[in-house]
């Protein structure tokens, strides 16, 4: 288990590492920067840098973690990448089902493949499924997500690269909003975040404002309209204990 600095989770688990870029939100991928750094440091799981790699030896790790955790699955990849075999995905979902005392959060940009494979996967209540949406062009990913049987479905509007207008939040149980951080970060406008916040409040959808981002995200902070927004899906209070 790796402790995470990501504001909306506690730990990370990476049975897959590496990825390929498919949309504008991938331009300044933090996982790519981190993977290349770990490769240079000689970390065995990153001997191929950011090339997609499957790691059989870590699939069952969550079963050894006795303290309940909120776990971000594949912070260093996309579990629904086209190069990840369906049989590998099935194994990952089986472990999440057996490790019922944890809460697992999965995030993908490959919403079409998510829907395509959803019927072959087991969807226990401790698995939250999300899609990333960075511009209006990719709002269709929410439609694919809505058609999956995940008990908790969430949208990550990060990095938010433009105003999204009216967003259909039907069937969405949680939203995360954040600006891009790191070298070359593209700025996020306050109005974009407030527009989404207001829609979530009106629809009764829990809202989490992660960061303004920028080249110094700590300095930019996390306040939106003078306060933090750390709302979580209501099911998060129902986590089982070991």
Return the structure tokens found at 60: 């069952």
- Please give the pLDDT value at position 2: 79
pLDDT in tens, 106-156: 999 999 999 999 999 999 999 999 999 999 999 999 999 999 999 999 999
Q: Which residue has the tokens 């996020």?
A: 188
Domain that holds residue 52: 2-238
- Please give the pLDDT value at position 69: 96
Count of structural domains within the chain: 1
- Please give the pLDDT value at position 5: 83
Return the structure tokens found at 169: 């939040």
What's the rounded Cα separation, in Å, for the pair 223 and 240?
A: 31
pLDDT in tens, 201-215: 999 999 999 999 988
DSSP state of 145: H
How many CB atoms within 10 Å of residue 198?
12
Mean of pLDDT values over 162-174: 98
- Please give the pLDDT value at position 1: 64
Q: Which residue has the tokens 């938010």?
A: 160
* pTM for the whole structure: 0.94
Mean of pLDDT values over 15-20: 98
CB-based burial label for 225 (10 Å; 0-12, 13-18, 19+): exposed
């Amino acid at each position: 288990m790796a402790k995470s600095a990501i504001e909306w989770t506690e730990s990370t688990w990476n049975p897959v590492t590496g990825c390929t870029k498919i949309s504008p939100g991938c331009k300044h991928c933090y996982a790519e920067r981190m993977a290349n750094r770990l490769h240079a440091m000689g970390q065995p799981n990153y001997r191929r840098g950011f090339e997609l790699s499957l790691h059989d030896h870590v699939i069952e790790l969550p079963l050894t973690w006795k303290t309940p955790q909120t776990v971000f699955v594949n912070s260093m990849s996309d579990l629904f990448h086209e190069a990840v075999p369906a049989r590998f995905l099935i194994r990952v979902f089986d472990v999440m089902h057996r490790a019922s005392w944890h809460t697992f959060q999965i995030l993908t940009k490959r919403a079409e493949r998510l829907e395509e494979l959803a019927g072959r996967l087991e969807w226990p209540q401790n698995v939250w499924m999300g899609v990333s949406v960075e511009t209006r062009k990719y709002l269709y990913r929410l439609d694919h997500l809505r058609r999956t049987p995940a008990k908790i479905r969430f949208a990550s509007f990060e990095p938010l690269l433009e105003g999204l207008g009216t967003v259909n939040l039907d069937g969405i149980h949680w939203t995360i909003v954040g600006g891009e951080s790191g070298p070359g970060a593209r700025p996020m406008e306050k109005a974009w975040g407030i527009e989404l916040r207001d829609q979530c409040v009106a629809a009764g959808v829990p809202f989490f404002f992660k960061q303004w981002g920028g080249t110094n995200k700590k300095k930019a902070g996390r306040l939106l309209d003078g306060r933090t927004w750390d709302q979580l899906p209501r099911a998060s209070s129902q986590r089982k204990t070991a």
